[in-house]
Amino acid sequence: MGERARARVAVALGTWVEPEQVYAEGRALLDVADHQAHRKVVLAERRPAVADFVRASNEGRVPDLVPLRVGRMLASPFAFFRGSAGLMAADLAAGPCTGVHAQLCGDAHAANFGLYGAADGQIVMDINDFDETLPGPWEWDLKRLATSLVLAGREGGVSAKGCRDAAEDVVRSYRKTIDHLAEMPFLDSWTALGDESVLGKVRAEELLDDFAKAAKKARKNTSARVAARWTQKGDDQRWRFVTDPPVMTKVDDAVADAVVGALPEYVDTLRESRRNLIMRYGVSDVAFRVVGTGSVGLRNYLVLLHGNGDEALVLQVKEARPSALAGHLGVGPAKHEGKRIVHGARLVQAESDILLGWTTVQGRDYIVRQFRNRKGEIDATTLDRDHLDDYGRLAGALLARAHTRSVDPRLLAGYCEGDDLDEAFADYAIDYADQTEADHADLVAAVAAGRLSAVIEQPVG
């Protein structure tokens, strides 16, 4: 290869740098924001009242479902936390920042880590919600995750020391995983972690039974099972969803036609081989389904497809709104919010849904993905102290791997050296959990005073 050709390749691939130089650049970031700077919670200067924040976050949602969203946020401080990523983002933006940006989950709380099926049928665990994904300060995700473990532990009756230990272990596992990935060949670090073997690597063996139970349940959580439970064949021999208001409702013909009419645009966002796959299916029905806590009130459709014989495939067509972090990062709306979410997921996840794509329905942006793609969860609010601690280590490791898809792990390893980082982030998590409990109390008071309307769901069974 001639010099000119080598130069072109070097420009295209980047300039090789000695590993120690990258570590040193990370250590230099301590002059920008040292570890101790992360201890203190800083609230946004113009932080809105909780009722005003909730009203603003409800704008553009289906009006009839807004009281249901408020009702779900009332359930506990952790439930409120799940629906208030934007409020925390405003506070994080007011605090210290290293200046290093990663592709963020944007809403990295304990309930947004879950199990799902990879293309080869293996059950993996990873971040599984990217509605708020954007490039931003890596520490935002880690602080949100640590805080969520404290709140989940408190809800589950874990002691104050147990909650603090879980928060510290989130950060310690993140830091040690970064160290480990920084020493690996780039190709190996890119595909590291995800399946059950990670539990041993991060000393989370106590979760083996929880993981096994969740994985067993996840393997059954398929389109076939959804079709068996939620659909029936009509007199015309066509399969349709069975309605279950307010969670599952019919849509009118105009909406159904719009959703189906948007599917060709979605197909074009898939890789070519997957387009050939999805085009073998035919559409049987469309329904509206309420999902999530933060997502309640967004337009969310299920599309029932039929394939080979009695084979069923259910796609979720979920409204994609601008990230709650965008304004606090100085970022404008994306050209297509669904595309933003899909690109973030593809970058961050070790294994992404092979049918993940985006489209536009009646002028609104949407993502499209498999519904119930062998999905499962380990509910952090039900874990005892030892299991919560292990869950923290697992989630911290998964977040570290996710961040190193967009940031050189050697840079983060240089900055994160030393266990004083664990204590600093844990201090932040404890104090911000206290703030969240106060915010939740304000929400309860606003509903009691009639300033916000809420619908409280009745327990099933």
Give every CB contact of residue 36 below 8 A, 6+ residues apart in sequence: 420, 424
Question: Do the beta carbons of residue 377 and residue 115 sit within 8 Å?
Answer: yes
Per-residue confidence (pLDDT) for residue 385, from 0 to 100: 94
Per-residue confidence (pLDDT) for residue 204, from 0 to 100: 56
Per-residue confidence (pLDDT) for residue 188, from 0 to 100: 83
Burial per residue of 152-167, b for 16 or more beta-carbon CB atoms within 10 angstroms, e otherwise: bbbbbebeeebbbbbb
What's the CA gap between 220 and 222, in Å, rounded?
Answer: 6
Residue 360, strand partner residues: 365
CB-side neighbour CA atoms (13 Å) of 303? 24
Question: Do the beta carbons of residue 416 and residue 33 sit within 8 Å?
Answer: no
Q: State which H helix or E strand residue 85 sits in.
A: helix 85-93
What's the CA gap between 139 and 98, in Å, rounded?
Answer: 8
Give the dihedral sign, CA 21/402/80/202.
Answer: negative
Per-residue confidence (pLDDT) for residue 82, from 0 to 100: 97
Place of tokens 């920084």: 182
Residue 365, strand partner residues: 360
Per-residue confidence (pLDDT) for residue 194, from 0 to 100: 52
Shortest CA distance to 315 belongs to which of 344, 358, 362?
358
CA distances from 316 to 104, 359, 415 (A): 23, 12, 40
The pair of three-digit structure tokens given for residue 172, joined into one six-digit string: 């310690």
Q: What is the pLDDT along the chain (461 residues), one digit of tens a residue?
A: 454 444 434 445 678 899 999 999 999 999 999 999 999 999 999 999 999 999 999 999 999 999 999 999 999 999 999 999 999 999 999 999 999 999 999 999 999 988 888 777 777 888 989 999 999 999 999 999 999 999 999 999 999 999 999 999 999 999 999 998 898 888 888 877 654 444 455 555 666 677 777 778 888 888 888 888 999 988 887 889 999 998 999 999 999 999 999 999 999 999 888 999 999 999 999 999 998 878 999 999 999 999 998 899 999 999 999 999 999 999 999 999 999 999 999 999 988 899 999 999 999 999 999 998 787 888 999 999 999 998 998 899 899 999 999 999 999 999 999 899 999 999 999 999 999 999 999 999 999 999 999 998 876 54
Strands (E), 329-423: 357-361, 364-370
Shortest CA distance to 230 belongs to which of 311, 309, 314?
314
The separation between CA 279 and the C-alpha centre of its own chain, rounded to angstroms, equals 29
Neighbours of 242 (CB within 10 A): 10
The separation between CA 297 and the C-alpha centre of its own chain, rounded to angstroms, equals 18
Per-residue confidence (pLDDT) for residue 201, from 0 to 100: 57
Per-residue confidence (pLDDT) for residue 207, from 0 to 100: 63
What's the CA gap between 203 and 161, in Å, rounded?
Answer: 19
Residue 316, strand partner residues: 302, 369
Is cis: bond before 246, omega within 30 of 0?
A: yes
**Helix ranges restricted to H, 183-234:** 186-190, 198-201, 208-220, 223-230
Per-residue confidence (pLDDT) for residue 445, from 0 to 100: 98
Shortest CA distance to 409 belongs to which of 418, 422, 421, 399?
399
What's the CA gap between 255 and 246, in Å, rounded?
Answer: 17
